[in-house]
Structure 1
Amino acid sequence: MLIADRPGAVRPREEFDLVRLDAFIKAIDPTLEGEPKSYQFSGGASNLTYLVSYPNRDFILRRPPFGRKAKSAHDVLREAALLQAIRPVFPYVPTIVASSDDETVIGGPFVVMERLIGFIPRHDLPEGMSLSPDQAHTLCRNMTDRLIELHAIDPQAVGLGGLGKGQGYVRRQIEGWSGRFRDARTPDTADFEAVMAWLVASEPAERATRLIHNDYKMDNIVFSTSDPSSIVGVLDWEMATLGDPLMDLGSSLAYWVQADDDGEIQAIRRQPSHLPGMMSRDEIVDYYCRKTGLTLDRFDFYLIFGTFRLAVIAQQIYARYCAGHAANPDFAGFGHAVNILERRCLSLIDRAGF
């Protein structure tokens, strides 16, 4: 079967000791043949993701980024434990092969997992692939349905009742992401103080406490190459926790650049959510509420928070790049994206009218 999401060469300063890793993996799977080769996926804005390829089997390797980082956002061992817990009730996750906190192997904690076969949309669909408007619409419904299924999981039933901190999630998120932004801000980026003040003043009551992904977007999803609207798996669970599911939906839709958004937002689009047939943000919210039975007067807060949170993530990555701890040259433009996202937040606040 075609694997459309192809990695490239490992970036300088993000290499690891392949000989040590080979010995580690072969101790787990002695059927492996030959010597492995390593490649790196073009994502990796958060945890770094590699392909470790043997002649008879492929693995995915995940490890935290190099340099200063937010520990809770890059805990690959926590991520592995969560995937093992939810796989019996949410089969859209890869099987964990091994995990280790032995930093003598590759210089940091890491997880080895199966490679899911399919494609991951980045800025655009893979070359040679297209979606009809009906397929694009079905893709949106499938994405939303998988999120609804995740939010329906009983955390206690899968042994994850202690994953979160209970009530107060929304306030903790506002305070936590505000602190992270202030810690990571660089002199060439906006200060977001007006946005942060608005979030504090506009905090809604929490709707529920559910298992949430916290980074649910197209380039964290593997789609089938035989049916591009069908989902094979959901990746990148390092920020998953227990919290308000509407915050999860808002954070997801912050990435959703639709066809009628202005040119400045179109310029920072990172997934093909603009294609003909794709549902709008409002349509996705309406669909989510109908399927879950939620009643919701306004979604403004959740989208504005999600947009601010996206800006913080971009700022943290940009700060690591400026400090020389991230090698991906794409990160050089993240500071400009942060400034665009502040203008986006302020525009959404003005439009919300409260």
Structure 2
Amino acid sequence: MVGPEEIAAVASIWSGIPVQQLTADERMLLIGLDEMLKKRVIGQDEAVAAISRAVKRSRVGLKDLDRPIAAMIFCGPTGVGKTELTKALAACYFGSDSTGIRYNGIKDSTILDTRHERIPVYLKMLCKEDAMLRLDMSEYMERHTVSKLIGSPPGYVGYEEGGMLTEAIRRRPFTLLLLDEIEKAHPDIFNILLQLFEDGHLTDSQGRRVSFKNALVVMTSNVGSSAIAKGRRGSIGFLLENDESSSYAGMKALVMEELKAYFRPELLNRIDEVVVFRTLEKLQMLEIVNLMLQEVNARLVSLGISLEVSESIKDLICQQGYDQTYGARPLRRAVTAIVEDPLSEALLAGNYSPGETAVIDLDALGNPIVTSRSDRNISLSDTASIF
């Protein structure tokens, strides 16, 4: 017999919006959402807490029903995790099986083959990360680029295709919308955002009303980076206090002053929360290195080979990859040069076979060296790192 729950489940599949009533799996997911995000985004507990609160408010029914789930702006230097946090939330929640959004028994993003030429660009963008639509606002610096978001006016090229933003949300309403480097957008873009944040919808060029009530909007910005850098150096008196929460509040106040000088007041008033990201320290960099090495190990395990990395190699990666100005981005290059390149040479030389462990350490001259050890049996499903 078909009951209300079954009907709601089918409606959820067709609409792409979670059922209003929380399932047991989703409750557990929401309760542990903070910890899940902290495992992927290092050293940004305040930011993780802020974005988790927004999702929880929405799912328990306390958010304004006429507005998006939340409109947030992430401020901070480059390479500190602003974009990574949105990707982590998209993977952990918006693209999670626990939300109940499934199509023919599998997740939506796995159905769409982005290599197919007939799949529209906006759907390909959604496939790159589970339920995340990312727009690089440096591509919207000119006035005419507004039409790319909501569609070209009647009589112009591309009118029938619709807008990249409105079409993507219309087809998948339950989405995390990332507007990367929002300060680079043309001022006319902000006029569109004002309506989106206040009314929870946009009208495309064909007159169709597109709802954003089930979308979470995150904007990232480098505005305020100088204030954060000053706070880190201790050049501002109240940032020298031992109370870390007071220090963070003072730094956020400085960032808000820079935001007020850059963005229009009516836009800032419609933003639910401004989240300030901290500058990463060396200890946090070591945790990020471990995450990157786990990714390398997972790729090796698919070949039946495990990875073991010495502490001296990790220290060398942190030494070469730590940059206060660019955050964690140089770490990726350091991992490539110190770990992946020597591994590639060893694999091409045919020195490894399934079941062996690749051990990376420093030789007497301080250069990375790869050796093998065959004392561990590896299965293809094993993705655990040995550190």
Indicate the TM-score class for this superposition, using the shorter chain for normalisation: under 0.3
Decide which structure has the larger Cα Rg and report it: 2
TM-score of the superposed pair, with normalisation by structure 1? 0.28
